[in-house]
Structure 1
Amino acid sequence: MQTTATTRRAPTPAAAGPDLEHEVLRRVGCGLRDDEIAAALALPEQAVAGQLARILVKHGLRDRAAAIVHAFDCGLVVPGRGPRTPAVGAAVRGAVARTVTPGVRIGVLGPLQAARDGRPLDLGHLRQQAVLAALALGAGRTLSQQELRDGVWGTEPPVTNVVPVYVYRLRKTLRGEGPDGPGPVIEHDRRGYRLVAGAVDVDVARLQELVARVEAADRAGDPAEAVRLCSRALELYRGEPLAGLPGPLAEWERLRLTERRIALAQRKAQWQQRLGRHSEAIAELFALSAAHPLNEPVAAMLMRALYRTGRRADAVGVFDRARRRLAEDLGVAPGRMLRRTHEVILRGDEVALVPGRTSR
């Protein structure tokens, strides 16, 4: 009986089942940490983390940042408003305000850069910059010192534990001087370090949001809006992502973000052609092919676009250039898709040039 009475007095969560999922997702979308969500819903922090993990799997989301975008897309969160309760206090309401107008901007879609209130910041030497880049790409997730060492130094870790020193310097740089300066930008707890939710605007987060909106426009059958959103997303790139930064994390993210850029440009060109804007599509595909001469899908798309506008000789010329570069740089012949595109152009097979047919 005593056990039963104790069970009855235990706090119960504010929601359960699908309602609990919505409540957790709403609070994640508003930028709350797991401990804040746990306090608001009377749940153990571990339960909140488990619920978030299930949400990511259920909706096919990559990470916490993708969950934030999903919460906005679903209408669970309205910019500037969220599920924070009055009990959270004025300090947390200040964090919500920072979500709307963050004072620090970090750019990783090019050489790493950071600015506070429009003024560029000196981020120190390259390893220190790589630590900041890892935090920025973590999208608010807590990174342990080990994770930072692995991502920045790889198999050659530093002789001394310099991560806390680098983080201290970065916190000082990002926060600013003086008692009336902005609040901290990097938080620390027993698990590691993370950027304060809402205190920093990271260009890759804006990219993810725009990509989600591109997907929505595509599903809605609005190619004009999809082209507009692709243009906005591509404008965020300022060159090679994380150019010059050392470490396996920067190397991996350079590849991933570059592939994202290529995919966006390809999709934009497809929609431009669907809208009859062939000249625009061809011009952008030429630029993309020049920047990535070994990318066979881009070359094949350019060949198809040229052929459809009556430029058969130019289309064949693209194939010849791609074949030479592949032989000279990689010592390989063109792949099946590129060869197939070349063959159907020589035959003048219009049906086979329908998008999706040439890759089979």
Structure 2
Amino acid sequence: MPITATTGQPTVTTLRHQEREVLYAVGCGLRDDEIAAALAIPEDAVAGYLARILAELGLRDRAAAIVHAFDCGLVAPGRGPRRRAASPVPPTATRRVPGPRLRISLLGPLRAWRDGQPLDLGHLRQQAVLAALALCQGRTVSQQELLDGVWGEEPPSTKVVPVYIYRLRKILHVVGGPDSVIGRDRCGYRLLPGAVAVDVARVEELVSAAGTAERAGELTEAVRACSQALDLFRGEPLAGLPGPLAELERLRLTERRIVLVQRKLDWQLRLGQHSEAIAELSALAGAQPLNEPVAAMLMRALYLGGRQVDALTVFDRTRRRLTEELGVYPGPMLRRTHQMILRGDEARLGLTGTAQ
């Protein structure tokens, strides 16, 4: 056991890392609860560490431990803690749990950031591999799934998936984080849980929150959560990425956005926010002139905004497009909305909801 030349006592070099951290905090004058908060350990464990420190160093009590921390240079007199990394956390401070340092966005061209800095993700096929892992966050994706999803019926002649995974691991590596955010097991590859924030997953969290708010009758909160989800869309999802998986997900996510827009606008109509809804519904109807639910909602918004003639014009325009382009007549929803507007039957259409 190392002995100091001047005191004949064992030095702190005999202590384990966590014991040194506890002695350092004791030398700084912290109480047990403050040490527990600073080192993220149970308060009961602090007393155990201190008892072992006293026994290992042959010290009498806590006061002797404080003196020893100064004598051995672990804490510098008059200058506070020497090592900023071990600086104690004030007992009243809130311990902030950091979120993932990596973010991936799929709701537009594929993008990734580490600590807020954009990353170069390499070749398009390599990006498509990363997108496949991000879309399947929470489960393992086999190598065959990646081949089918990214290359389809024209698989590569060489084993490029492990090469792309190796490159992606290097690109996504976080200093001080896990060795790799892409895990591997006998079944394939996956993004490690909690290592990466993916915007598609965030959208579903917000949609769930919006649904909860709606069931509680809090439509204003439902609109807010849904608007936050829609703000995450930055254009065509997975824009430019090759492969059958990207193509299918592009269609699914685009449809998902349209459904979310319709839900939000329906809530806005129920809140009496007619003018706000009209502008967005008009743009949506222009982009999708054959979408009957959108046309029906636009008719409702226009009617509630005091524009009955415009509402009926939407019906006539939609009916004409349906018959000319698809050879079909308006469906029950659109016809019912038309009839209720003609009769002014707001109550039966559920148009008299109270604002929250």
Match of residue 132 from structure 1: 130
User: Secondary structure, in 3 states, of the residue corresponding to 2:220?
Assistant: helix
Task: Show the 5 A alignment for 1:300-315.
Answer: 300-315=296-311
The structure with the greater share of residues assigned to helix is 1
Match of residue 210 from structure 2: 214
Task: Show the 5 A alignment for 1:196-215.
Answer: 196-215=192-211
Could you say if the C-alpha distance between residues 299 and 99 of structure 1 is closer, same or farther in structure 2, counting changes exceeding 3 Å? farther
Post-superposition offset of 1:162:
1.7
User: Secondary structure, in 3 states, of the residue corresponding to 1:263?
Assistant: helix
Q: Specify the code of the residue in structure 2 equivalent to 1:152.
A: V
Q: Does residue 168 of the first structure (1) align with residue 157 of the second (2)?
A: no
Match of residue 75 from structure 1: none
Paired with 1:346 and 1:338, the residues of 2 have a C-alpha distance of 12
Match of residue 265 from structure 1: 261
Q: Does residue 101 of the first structure (1) align with residue 99 of the second (2)?
A: yes
Could you say if the C-alpha distance between residues 146 and 291 of structure 1 is closer, same or farther in structure 2, counting changes exceeding 3 Å? same
Q: Deviations over 1:78-136 (max 9, x none)?
A: xxx9xxxx9xxxxxxxxxx9984211100011111111111111112222211111100
Gaps of 5+ in 2: 1-39, 46-94, 352-356
Could you say if the C-alpha distance between residues 180 and 304 of structure 1 is closer, same or farther in structure 2, counting changes exceeding 3 Å? closer
The answer to which of 229-238 and 284-293 deviates more is: 284-293
User: Secondary structure, in 3 states, of the residue corresponding to 1:353?
Assistant: coil
User: Secondary structure, in 3 states, of the residue corresponding to 1:225?
Assistant: helix
Could you say if the C-alpha distance between residues 98 and 112 of structure 1 is closer, same or farther in structure 2, counting changes exceeding 3 Å? farther
The answer to which of 345-354 and 192-201 deviates more is: 345-354
Paired with 2:170 and 2:290, the residues of 1 have a C-alpha distance of 43
Choose the corresponding residue for 2:235, options 233, 239, 244.
239
Q: Specify the code of the residue in structure 2 equivalent to 1:288.
A: L
Q: Specify the code of the residue in structure 2 equivalent to 1:252.
A: L
Post-superposition offset of 1:159:
2.7
User: Secondary structure, in 3 states, of the residue corresponding to 2:109?
Assistant: coil
Match of residue 120 from structure 2: 122
Match of residue 194 from structure 1: 190
Match of residue 296 from structure 1: 292
Match of residue 341 from structure 1: 337
Could you say if the C-alpha distance between residues 346 and 215 of structure 1 is closer, same or farther in structure 2, counting changes exceeding 3 Å? same
Conserved? CA contact 2:236–2:250, under 8 Å: yes
Find the structure with the greater CA-based Rg. Answer: 2
Match of residue 275 from structure 1: 271
Task: Show the 5 A alignment for 1:70-85.
Answer: none
Q: Specify the code of the residue in structure 2 equivalent to 1:202.
A: V
Paired with 2:100 and 2:145, the residues of 1 have a C-alpha distance of 26
User: Secondary structure, in 3 states, of the residue corresponding to 1:143?
Assistant: coil
Could you say if the C-alpha distance between residues 314 and 162 of structure 1 is closer, same or farther in structure 2, counting changes exceeding 3 Å? same
Aligned residues: 259
Choose the corresponding residue for 1:113, options 111, 114, 138.
111
Could you say if the C-alpha distance between residues 264 and 180 of structure 1 is closer, same or farther in structure 2, counting changes exceeding 3 Å? closer
Post-superposition offset of 1:334:
3.5
Post-superposition offset of 1:333:
4.4
Q: Deviations over 1:207-226 (max 9, x none)?
A: 11111111111111111111
Post-superposition offset of 1:193:
0.4
Q: Specify the code of the residue in structure 1 equivalent to 2:168.
A: L
Percent of pairs with identical residues: 70
Post-superposition offset of 1:324:
4.8
Could you say if the C-alpha distance between residues 325 and 135 of structure 1 is closer, same or farther in structure 2, counting changes exceeding 3 Å? farther
Could you say if the C-alpha distance between residues 221 and 238 of structure 1 is closer, same or farther in structure 2, counting changes exceeding 3 Å? same
Q: Specify the code of the residue in structure 2 equivalent to 1:154.
A: G
Post-superposition offset of 1:174:
1.2
Paired with 2:165 and 2:96, the residues of 1 have a C-alpha distance of 21
Paired with 2:200 and 2:107, the residues of 1 have a C-alpha distance of 7
TM-score by length of 1: 0.65
Match of residue 18 from structure 1: none
Paired with 1:108 and 1:187, the residues of 2 have a C-alpha distance of 20
